[in-house]
Structure 1
Amino acid sequence: MTVELSFPPLLSGHRLEGAADPFEVAQAQAAAGCDAGLVVYNLRPTTLDAAIVLAPEVPLQQAMAMLPVCGVGFQNALGALSPPEVAVHLEWDGTVRINGARCGRFTPAAATTDPETQPDWLVIGLTLTLWPESDDTGHQPDQTALYAEGCADVDAAQLLESWARHTLVWINRWSEEGNAPLHKDWRGMAHGIGEDITVAGKTGTFLGVDEDFGLLLRRSDQTDLIPLTTLLESSP
């Protein structure tokens, strides 16, 4: 018997099955005018896929803070359910690392790509690998799965419910207090600051982020600002 998940007030769940993609379905639902707070999800044996529909009341450039909001919410959720030695870090582009290896990703999409326009909707998708595709993981040492990292007792449905709750807490805090608390917590779990990375076809040193979480990339004698809006996926 399938048990429907429980979400906090202001959020509602929409369960999918089979090969249906929550990220695509959430965008379609958002474009059709669904209420903000819809959480579309598909719990497969090897992956947790979900997406949340948001309706920002600020221009897209500021609304993109929902990407790190969802990441910090996930870290808080898994931290409450997993053993204390399990480490979660977040890459600027939405990649989730568990114990140093890539394990999942957050992906944004919006009704507009204009940074100065208030979007009708914003969708943040989550894909998390629960089990590795193969028992032979030595060929991809930088890839991992949740249950291969000491989290075998973490129930995927419970993790999804917890992520929704913690993300809602952070949305409310961001609305009331702005970016400062989010900056502080995100930076404490950010991966790659001070290292050389390649983003948007540019290679340089990842210095950190600006007030809107735009990436600061130091290249020789100049520093480039790469806004979060460059990460937006095209709507289906």
Structure 2
Amino acid sequence: MIARLGDTEQTLDLPPGYTLVALRELGDAFAHAREIAAEAGAGTLVWVRRYDLVEFAVVLEPDEPLASARRAFFAGMNALADAIAAHCPPEREVAFDWPDAIRFDAGLLGGGRLAWPNDCAEDEVPSWLVFGVILRAAAMAHVPEVQAASGVSLLSEGFEMVETDAIIESFSRHLMTAFDRWKERGFEAIARDYLERLPQRKAGERRGIDVNGDLLVRLAAGNAAPERNSLVDALARASWYDPQARGPKFE
């Protein structure tokens, strides 16, 4: 699939069903995908071609009310983690911080975001969702060297430059697989895959994802009500994202 920008050609090998929209280096994939989602439709993948970040967003069209449709976020996170794991050096761990941060060997690599129409009620089917991703591919040019040295990037962790684009291509395939898995086996299969990459905070705790996407945590002993962690509130914080740098935070 090819997108033309001026006199250049930029390519990604995406499966049938995807439409590529390529932006120049200063573009914002998440913002642009939200702007065009209603018209562009499902499978539109907006990609910013830059060397220091892996940045893209994909438009989804759910068939259930917003309150439960947000669970598509977990399918996106699973697909992203699977894509990274498929290209990373052996015996390296890809994990989540609830709900949206991606860690690679414990270092913050980036994360995912989710958007939906502002005027969509919880019990209405949204006309679109947008799942957006930013991963740190290399040291960002505008970040001080000392600060950059504290950050995890794909290149610093043994990935090759050619693999940064391959991660997007791999994500697109894993996302289709995730939705097929959801359709065939129910959302519990998606929740199980996600929770396997979410470290436990206490030994013996039992976790689940509610129908509205909230994380429910129960201790093995006792009959107390589960601790509820709001998906919507956590997505609004996007704790991994630095809006000034427009990329993953440094720790």
**Correspondences of 1:178-217 after superposition (within 5 Å):** 178-191=186-199, 193-194=200-201, 208-212=207-211, 213-216=213-216
Q: Could you report, residue by residue, the CA deviation over 1:44-82 in whole angstroms, capped at 9, with x for unpaired residues?
A: 110011001001001112211221111111121122222
The CA distance in 1 between the partners of 2:128 and 2:232, in whole Å, is 14
> What's 1:63 paired with?
69
- 1:225 is displaced (CA, Å) by 2.2
Q: RMSD in angstroms over aligned alpha carbons?
A: 2.7
- 1:222 is displaced (CA, Å) by 6.3
- 1:124 is displaced (CA, Å) by 0.7
* Residue 227, structure 1, aligned to residue 227, structure 2: no
- 1:151 is displaced (CA, Å) by 1.6
**Correspondences of 1:100-139 after superposition (within 5 Å):** 100-112=106-118, 114-133=121-140, 134-136=144-146
Q: Is the 8 A contact 1:81 1:154 kept in 2?
A: no
The CA distance in 2 between the partners of 1:21 and 1:59, in whole Å, is 27
Three-state SS of the structure 1 residue aligned to 2:9 is: coil
- 1:21 is displaced (CA, Å) by 0.2
The CA distance in 1 between the partners of 2:231 and 2:174, in whole Å, is 22
Q: Could you report, residue by residue, the CA deviation over 1:109-149 in whole angstroms, capped at 9, with x for unpaired residues?
A: 00146332211110010000011235435874xx4111111
- 1:223 is displaced (CA, Å) by 4.4
Q: Is the 8 A contact 1:109 1:232 kept in 2?
A: no
- 1:216 is displaced (CA, Å) by 3.0
> What's 2:43 paired with?
37
- 1:172 is displaced (CA, Å) by 1.9
> What's 2:16 paired with?
9
The CA distance in 2 between the partners of 1:87 and 1:126, in whole Å, is 19
Q: Aligned pair in 2 of structure 1 residues 187, 111: CA closer, same or farther (>3 Å)?
A: same
One-letter amino acid matched to 2:27:
A
Relative to structure 2, which stretch is displaced further, 225-234 or 14-23? 225-234
One-letter amino acid matched to 1:129:
R
The CA distance in 2 between the partners of 1:9 and 1:210, in whole Å, is 31
The CA distance in 2 between the partners of 1:175 and 1:62, in whole Å, is 14
The CA distance in 2 between the partners of 1:153 and 1:26, in whole Å, is 25
Q: Aligned pair in 2 of structure 1 residues 154, 186: CA closer, same or farther (>3 Å)?
A: farther
Q: Could you report, residue by residue, the CA deviation over 1:13-61 in whole angstroms, capped at 9, with x for unpaired residues?
A: 1111121101000000113x22211010112110011001001001112
Q: Is the 8 A contact 1:82 1:154 kept in 2?
A: no
Q: Aligned pair in 2 of structure 1 residues 64, 39: CA closer, same or farther (>3 Å)?
A: same
Three-state SS of the structure 1 residue aligned to 2:63 is: coil
Three-state SS of the structure 2 residue aligned to 1:126 is: strand
Uncovered stretches (5+) of structure 1, i.e. residues with no partner: 196-205
Uncovered stretches (5+) of structure 2, i.e. residues with no partner: 1-7, 219-223, 238-251
* Residue 20, structure 1, aligned to residue 23, structure 2: no
- 1:87 is displaced (CA, Å) by 1.2
The CA distance in 1 between the partners of 2:234 and 2:45, in whole Å, is 21
Aligned residues: 221
